[in-house]
Amino acid sequence: MTHSILLVRQLPGLTDYAQALDAMRAFNQQRQPDTQDELWVLEHPSVFTLGQAGLMSHLLANPESIPVIRSDRGGQITFHGPGQIIFYLLLDLKRHQLTVRQLVNTIEQTVINMLDFFAIKAHRVEGAPGIYVEHAKIAALGLRIQNGYCRHGFSINVDMDMTPFTLINPCGYERLKTTQVKEWYRGITKEAVIERVMIELSNLLELEVKQG
């Protein structure tokens, strides 16, 4: 039953954002009805990304000249960098009979469950997709659905330099606070977060995880 498999590809080092963007597009363009769904787990070098409707005015300053890339995902501006784990979901929504709202709920619940495993109480905020601990955002999501196929996914701040978030209105929200897992759970490792996310996501999607 190939349709019940979620193939996980963990990419070593740092993956260039533009290359990942091109790879996701190519993957979905070449999909066949029996193509297995994939989850790409990776980190990006420092980069600001703007969603399709993203406004440059939400980039308040850029003294280090961090690259700014226009993406084809939804949402406004965000920051990616080392120590933030990216989970790119390449799913056939029609196969799983998932609506976009159901997928968003699944992603958010995955992160909430993962954080709860580490005794971190997280929650949603109505009208502001993502996951929050107290009043600070710890995980962001942005998707692109085309011909029933999903690409992009979600990011979790684990153990990173948070300074660049102060240079933007994260996700388009002025003065939005951001946080990371290590501020709430000392000694957390990226490996532990990845392992728990895969467990929670596979349970919610009812898919068997296999390493690619």
Enumerate residues 6+ apart whose C-beta is below 8 A from 85.
41, 42, 43, 155, 156, 158, 190, 193, 194, 197
**Count of positions (residues) in the chain:** 212
Enumerate residues 6+ apart whose C-beta is below 8 A from 79.
46, 47, 48, 49, 66, 164, 165, 167, 168, 170
Q: Is 171 a catalytic residue?
A: yes
Q: Exactly one of 133, 171, 176, 197 is catalytic; name it.
A: 171
What is the CA 89 to chain-centroid distance, rounded? 8
Reduced to 3 states, what is the DSSP secondary structure of residue 55?
A: coil
What order do you get walking across the sheet with 68-70 strand by strand?
68-70, 47-50, 77-80
The DSSP annotation for 14-29 comes to: ---HHHHHHHHHHHHH
Q: Catalogue the active-site residues.
A: 171
